[in-house]
Amino acid sequence: MTDVPIQMQQGTANERFRSGSPLFDLLSRGGLAIAILAVLIYGSLASPVFFTAGNFVNVLTSMAIVGIVVVGMTFVLVVGGLADLSVPATIACGAILSLALQPVIGPVPAFAAAIALAGFCGLMSGLLIGYVGINPIVATLGVGTIVLGIVQAAVGGVIVYGTNPDTAALVKSRLFGIPAIVLIFMAVAVVGHFALSRSYWGRWTIATGGNYAAAEASAVPVRAVKAGAFVITGLCAGLSGALLGLTLQSARPLVGTGYEFSAITAVVVGGVSIMGGFGSVPRAIAGLVFVQLLTNVMVLQGVRTPVQGFALGLLIAIAVALDVALRRRAGGAL
Amino acid sequence: MTVLVRLVRYRVAVILGLTLLIASLTVSGFPSVTTLGLGLDRSATIGIIAIGMTVLLIARQIDLSVGSTFALAGITAIMLQPVIGIWPAALAGVLAGAAAGAFNGLLSVVFKVNALVATLATMLIFRSVAHWLTDSQPVPGTDIMLSLALSTVHLEIFTLRSALFVGSILLLHFWLTRTVAGRNLFAVGSNADAAEASGIAPGRTVFLAFVFAGTLAGVAGVLQSLTTNTGSPVFGAELIVTVIAAVVVGGTRIEGGRGSALGTLGGVLTIAALTTAMEFESVPAYIQQVVVGLILILLVVLDRTVRPGPRTHAAAGVPG
């Protein structure tokens, strides 16, 4: 992950973020890599089990589920869509449907249907935000509430259990010692990275987030691009939820609570601007790696849970305040 | 078309009226003073927080941390009771809410962190502090009789907190429509640069709006803790969605510069009437969510697609 800043340099040209001073430049570009390195060194010195393959596999597994959401959420922030707060609902949709539909249509179609429906929820939010012009916070809160209610009503408001142990075994299986979930996450991240940095769609996404009016004038289909970001997040959260459901072999309606904030935390700590127009998937994932490693070190050191939450909250505030200070960009307004 | 425009302008009043009418016809025992008082009392918590949120949204800011502030203020008020007495402790709880709001304002104004991100961070921080202080256990208060006294119904309708809610919203209406400070708030929300050029200090206005929202979340939290005689770190975890829904249903725009106190009153009452009526009919909680979500989406879509012409904030003073 130390090559993140280099990828940033190759990515979209962001001349406007240069502040002139070489020290500020270094801090702004390499700050996260330095921070990750610092956590790695501190963790290795402080705990004998930190720098072991087993621990890293644990960290990777725990970040895979939220990591898939992070990839989608990056698109939402970059396109200037603030945040997708319907993620808990779409995760629950993926988890509940992938288990509940198993006896009816078989495990693989159930998996696909769960993701497709979560994508459809994303499409609903996307249409409201991109085409009707509703504020993303309100739209995703509303759609999320409705979707969660409908999914619960569909299964009668109870916890759903898996009926097919083979699928659980498949999700928990390992290839070369790496859990299947981690491989899926990596595949999603690679696809997301190339889609955002190398494809027309990605360039349109960055252009729309950077300057909506200019992008529209340059014949970028801004409405579709904006809606598309929420479809992508819906699909990602659906996939994440389906994998979570298969891993746990049970799904309750509130299974996705908190994932939206974890994903936003990772993306923001990674330095993706919430004002839109700037950011990349590797950056967001570097943010996720930092947060996960820090949490891991705190757990290994026996830090109490409330203190961990406190540290994490402070971290978001400091990371963003520092980012604003280093870039000398005016922010503050919603 | 003009009928439609009129319907859209007074949509909150229309929906509230429809809800009350349908509920009175179909739900037995709904149209009574007791139900009204009950509905008012349960909407008071949401309502008091919604007052602060209305001011913040008009100033083009948002506070996601109100639920955590709510819990923190309540815990402060309960935990200090044995040390400094009940009323000083309650005051300390409200001050804790104000301090939380000031911290949000500091992050947002001085450090220029986007309000959404800043209050997301403080939501985690305040909630963690609440768990930290209480060891994640609910804390009992010292005087159980006080909670009974607070729940007493006066004039057959009002409890202390519902009276406080209705009184504050009328004050807010007066403040937003009749005072210079209220008008400045709308100016800052619609165009901060233009407001600054006209001699208003947007930073100070926004900071005070955050303190105001924190204080009111604190008041709501202290009242909740005194009424239940408990301080709990999990209080208010789900409040934020309902509060934002109530304010937005009331016609306040999340993009800033537009909103009204009476609209928020309408939004809060609509959601309270809906949930009370549905609970009378034992509709499952998840169906209630779907209804509230649909009304939220329907109203904002109507707001975007049918434009009742340009409106100043003075015109927005009526519910709608």
Chain B contact set for A274 (CB, 8 A): 114, 116-117
Which A-chain residues 225-254 have CB contacts (< 8 A) with chain B?
Answer: 253
DSSP labels, B178-212:
HSHHHHHHHHHHH-HHHHHHTT--HHHHHHHHHHH
What confidence tens digit (pLDDT) does each residue in B16-71 have?
888 888 877 777 777 777 777 777 888 889 999 999 999 999 998 999 899 999 99
In chain A, the residue whose alpha carbon lies closest to the alpha carbon of B124 is A313
pTM, full prediction: 0.82
Nearest CB to B117: which of A138, A148, A268? A268
Q: Tokens for B124? A: 């985690």
Assess contact for A230 and A122: CB atoms under 8 A. Answer: yes
Q: Is A180 on the interface with B (CB under 8 A)?
A: no
Q: What domains does chain B contain, in order, with CATH numbers?
A: 30-317 (1.10.3470)
Chain A contact set for B294 (CB, 8 A): 142, 146
In chain B, the residue whose alpha carbon lies closest to the alpha carbon of A310 is B125
What confidence tens digit (pLDDT) does each residue in A195-205 have?
999 999 999 99
- Alpha-carbon distance B285 to nearest alpha carbon in chain A (angstroms): 8
Distance between CA A277 and CA A197 in Å, rounded? 12
Which B-chain residues 180-209 have CB contacts (< 8 A) with chain A?
Answer: 192, 206
pLDDT at B320 over 60: no
Chain B contact set for A121 (CB, 8 A): none
Confidence of residue A26 (pLDDT cuts 50, 70, 90): low
Enclosing H/E stretch for A228:
helix A222-248
Q: How many CB pairs (< 8 A) connect A and B? A: 163
Mean pLDDT, rounded, of chain B? 84
Yes or no, beta carbons of A313 and B123 under 8 Å apart? yes
Which B-chain residues 37-76 have CB contacts (< 8 A) with chain A?
Answer: 60-62
Nearest CB to A141: which of B60, B244, B286? B244
Count Cβ neighbours within 10 Å for each residue of B129-165 and write b for 16 or more, e otherwise. Answer: bbbbbbeeeebebeeeebeeeeeebeeebbbbbbbbb
Distance between CA B118 and CA B229 in Å, rounded? 31
A278 φ/ψ sector (left φ>0, alpha ψ -120 to 50, else beta) = beta
Q: Which CATH class is domain A25-327?
A: mainly alpha
Which residues, including other chains, have CB under 8 Å from residue B158's CB and lie 6 or more apart? B37, B40, B166
ipTM computed for the complex: 0.77
Q: Is A303 on the interface with B (CB under 8 A)?
A: no
Yes or no, beta carbons of A145 and B290 under 8 Å apart? yes
Query: Once rounded to an integer, what is the mean pLDDT over residues B98-102?
Result: 96
DSSP labels, B41-82:
HHHHHHHHHHHHHHHHHHTT---TTHHHHHHHHHHHHHHTHH
What confidence tens digit (pLDDT) does each residue in A55-86 have?
888 888 889 999 999 999 999 999 988 888 89
Yes or no, beta carbons of A321 and B127 under 8 Å apart? no
Nearest CB to B116: which of A149, A308, A334? A334
The distance of Cα A100 from the centroid of its chain, to the nearest Å, equals 25
Task: Measure Cα distances from B29 to B35, B43, B54, B127, B155 in Å.
Answer: 8, 19, 33, 39, 20
Count Cβ neighbours within 10 Å for each residue of A118-152 and write b for 16 or more, e otherwise. Answer: bbbbbbbbbbbbbeeebbbbbbbbbbbbbbbbbbb
Distance between CA A208 and CA A230 in Å, rounded? 14
What confidence tens digit (pLDDT) does each residue in A221-231 have?
999 999 999 99
pLDDT at B318 over 70: no
In chain B, the residue whose alpha carbon lies closest to the alpha carbon of A150 is B290
Yes or no, beta carbons of B117 and A320 under 8 Å apart? yes
Yes or no, beta carbons of B293 and A253 under 8 Å apart? no
pLDDT at B312 over 60: no
SS3 content of chain A, % helix, strand, coil (to 5): 75, 0, 25
Q: Tokens for B213? A: 């929202």
Q: Tokens for A314? A: 């402070």
Nearest CB to A332: which of B112, B136, B301? B112
The 3-state DSSP class for residue A241 equals helix
A177 burial (CB, 10 Å; 0-12 / 13-18 / 19+) is: exposed
- Alpha-carbon distance B157 to nearest alpha carbon in chain A (angstroms): 31
Confidence of residue A29 (pLDDT cuts 50, 70, 90): low
Single out the residue of B164, B173, B182 nearest to residue B260, CA to CA. Answer: B173
Q: Is B306 on the interface with A (CB under 8 A)?
A: no
Q: Does B246 or B304 have the greater pLDDT score?
A: B246
Distance between CA B278 and CA B42 in Å, rounded? 14
Q: Tokens for B62? A: 């948002």
